Amino acid sequence: MTTKGQGEGGRLREGPAPELVAASFALEIADAPILHRGLGLADLAHVLVLGESGILPPEVTARLLTRLVELHALPVEDFVLDPKLEDVYSNREAWIRARDPEVAGWMGAGRPRREPATIAYRIAVRDRLLELHAALAAFAVALVERATEHIGTVVPDYTYFQPATPTSLAHYLLAFAEPVLRDLERVRQAYRRNDACPGGIGNVNGTRLGLDRARLAGLLGFSKPVRHTRDAMWQADQPIETMALLQAALVNADRLAEDLQIWSTREFALCELADRHARISLIMPQKKNPYALAFIRGITGNMLGRVVSMAAVGMTPSAQMDNRIFAIGEVPRALDGGTRALRLMAEVVRGLHFDVKRMAEAAGRGFVQATDLAELIVQEKGVPYRQAHRIVALAVRQTLDANPEAQTVTQQGLEEAAKEVLGVALKLDPEIFASVEDPAGIVATRTQLGAAARGPVECMLGEIQAAVDAAAKWADGERRRLDAAEQALVEEAERVSASAATSGECP
């Protein structure tokens, strides 16, 4: 048994099978909330261009625009779709046909079925890239704000979660702000590539109707048309790029989330999440679980599978476009989810409580002065670094052998190790040796570009904030431009429709 569909009475003798409707068409219909607004804009722009080019009679143009303006204003939840009609575009055409059957068929002039959905997809991605950009900017601002509070807060810098060297909490946090600036740049680059209109392409090689593709792009707020008509049908690299940049942004947040999850354990106890970002255990009363961090890490892993999926979706013969149905909804939904996760991460950072006293204590444990001792030997005694490294490493091992609870190397221990490695004592000045025992003093020596001392950190804070401000200004300008273009398109459609109706051309 089959159901009636678009193909019956034309090339096909029967409508789509119920199994095809349930398996494929229902999937396309599910993307209606994402595509509804973009399809409305694509239809309005297409009919305007058809009318301006003389392909549509003025009366037909006006009647079509009247219905399309009405449909564009219809809330998506009030637009009832029938999966038997195959996709959202066909449902829109059927909606027009039910109200004005004489003009509905003109909607398909000069464009394939997939073109308006491709335009709507790009509009959806364009809007969401701006939202992702705003979420990343908010994350960077949160990091800058907290770093500004903690320029003088000393914390152990861990590698492999072992104390490595003292640093400032500000320097640590800015290590996650710098990648956000790169994420912002990647979003802007992807946005510019997405900001090209695939409309007006006709078939793969164009259309004899000679549609003004630049005019169509301008009406839809795109900066330009996609140059090549065949390439415009579907760019398989675009979903991959979008998902990959989202993945990169989430991985940066994930790395911080993983650190903070460990830092918030009782074993480390360097920070604590705000209660509003945690969950209790319903069986273990004592627990405060860092649920927001676990969620960030979970969505990052989930997104990786979507990147691979988009690569697989693109692996088809070059003119087989139906696989795009798996990207048209998936990519915008992924951007929505990733944007929400990054906004959550920004608020987690803002709500963190850092135990400054415990951080300072931890910054003096675990032989964190070892690297500075080796460099001090190089500076003061002219010993090659590899030998200086051996001296300090041996001193650490011998100290732990004598006292497993020891946290620092004594000068006597260092001298004994030097005799074993070099055959002679170092005879370091006690005051010079003492200069590497203070974690804050060690941090203060890191004065070169990008390092942890106050000067370079303050410089980075200013530069990062300036970059974020510039990024936000760009995004604000783009949003105003798009809003103005959309408003102008709808107003133009209303004007053409109303003027034709007033002149008596539209019944």
For the stretch 244-287, pLDDT in tens is 999 999 999 999 999 999 999 999 999 999 999 999 988 998 89
Percent pLDDT > 70 in the chain is: 97
Model confidence pLDDT, tens digit, residues 39-90: 999 999 999 999 999 999 999 999 999 999 999 999 988 988 888 888 888 8
Measured torsion, CA atoms of residues 332, 112, 207, 121, in degrees rounded to the nearest 10: -10
Instruction: Assess contact for 464 and 183: CB atoms under 8 A.
Output: no
Is residue 20's pLDDT more than 60?
A: yes
Q: Please, where are the H alpha helices in 352-384?
A: 356-362, 370-381
Instruction: Assess contact for 193 and 238: CB atoms under 8 A.
Output: yes
Report the alpha-carbon distance of residue 276 to residue 331 in Å, rounded: 29
Quick one: tokens of 172? 């640590």
Closest CA to 45 of 106, 96, 116, 114: 116
For 413-481, give the secondary structure using H, E and C: HHHHHHHHHHCCCCCCCHHHHHCCCCHHHHHHCCCCCCCCCHHHHHHHHHHHHHHHHHHHHHHHHHHHH
pLDDT, position 3: 44
Cα 364-370-373 angle, rounded to 5 deg = 115
Instruction: Assess contact for 418 and 426: CB atoms under 8 A.
Output: yes
Instruction: Assess contact for 45 and 64: CB atoms under 8 A.
Output: no
Report the alpha-carbon distance of residue 235 to residue 240 in Å, rounded: 10
DSSP letter at 276 equals G
Letter string b/e over residues 123-140, b meaning 16 or more CB atoms within 10 A of that residue's CB: bbbbbbbbbbbbbbbbbb
pTM: 0.93
Q: Which CATH architecture has domain 119-149+159-172+180-194+235-362+460-478?
A: Up-down Bundle (1.20)
Q: For residues 428-439, give the mean pLDDT.
A: 91
- Helix H or strand E encompassing 165: strand 162-168
Is residue 315's pLDDT more than 50?
A: yes
Q: How many residues does the chain have?
A: 507
Q: For residues 210-222, give the mean pLDDT.
A: 95
Among 7-21, 139-153, 216-230, 333-347, whose mean pLDDT is lowest?
A: 7-21
**Helix, strand, coil distribution of the chain in percent, nearest 5:** 65, 5, 25
Q: SS3 of 428, please?
A: coil
Is residue 24's pLDDT more than 80?
A: yes
Instruction: Assess contact for 172 and 443: CB atoms under 8 A.
Output: no
DSSP secondary structure, 40-72, as one string: HHHHHHHHHHHHHTTSS-HHHHHHHHHHHHHHH
Closest CA to 118 of 188, 52, 192, 31: 31
Mean pLDDT of the chain, nearest integer = 92
Report the alpha-carbon distance of residue 68 to residue 95 in Å, rounded: 10
- Helix H or strand E encompassing 195: none
Quick one: tokens of 258? 């993983």
- Helix H or strand E encompassing 163: strand 162-168
- Please state, as a whole number, how many other Cβ atoms lie within 10 Å of the Cβ of residue 175: 18
Report the alpha-carbon distance of residue 186 to residue 244 in Å, rounded: 10
Is residue 1's pLDDT more than 80?
A: no
Cα distances (angstroms) measured from residue 389 to each of 39, 73, 166, 255, 463: 66, 72, 18, 30, 36
Among 128-142, 166-180, 304-318, 330-344, whose mean pLDDT is lowest?
A: 304-318
Is residue 209's pLDDT more than 50?
A: yes
Residue 300 CA, distance from chain mean position? 11
Report the alpha-carbon distance of residue 503 to residue 59 in Å, rounded: 10
Percent pLDDT > 90 in the chain is: 78
pLDDT, position 2: 41
Model confidence pLDDT, tens digit, residues 354-373: 999 999 999 999 999 999 99
Beta strands at 224-225 and 196-197: parallel, antiparallel or unpaired: parallel
Instruction: Assess contact for 303 and 254: CB atoms under 8 A.
Output: no
Model confidence pLDDT, tens digit, residues 145-197: 999 999 999 999 999 999 999 999 999 999 999 999 999 999 999 999 999 99
Report the alpha-carbon distance of residue 506 to residue 18 in Å, rounded: 40
Is residue 502's pLDDT more than 80?
A: no
Report the alpha-carbon distance of residue 345 to residue 253 in Å, rounded: 7
Backbone angles phi, psi at 288, to 5 degrees: -125, 100
Quick one: tokens of 108? 């398909």
Please give the sequence-ordered ranges of beta strands (E in DSSP) within 281-399, or none if there are none. Answer: 288-289, 353-354
pLDDT, position 9: 56
Measured torsion, CA atoms of residues 94, 100, 101, 105, in degrees rounded to the nearest 10: -70
- Please state, as a whole number, how many other Cβ atoms lie within 10 Å of the Cβ of residue 448: 10
Is residue 6's pLDDT more than 70?
A: no
Sole residue written with tokens 């941090």: 443
Write down the domain spans for the chain: 119-149+159-172+180-194+235-362+460-478, 370-436
Closest CA to 287 of 276, 277, 278: 278
pLDDT, position 114: 85
DSSP letter at 166 equals E
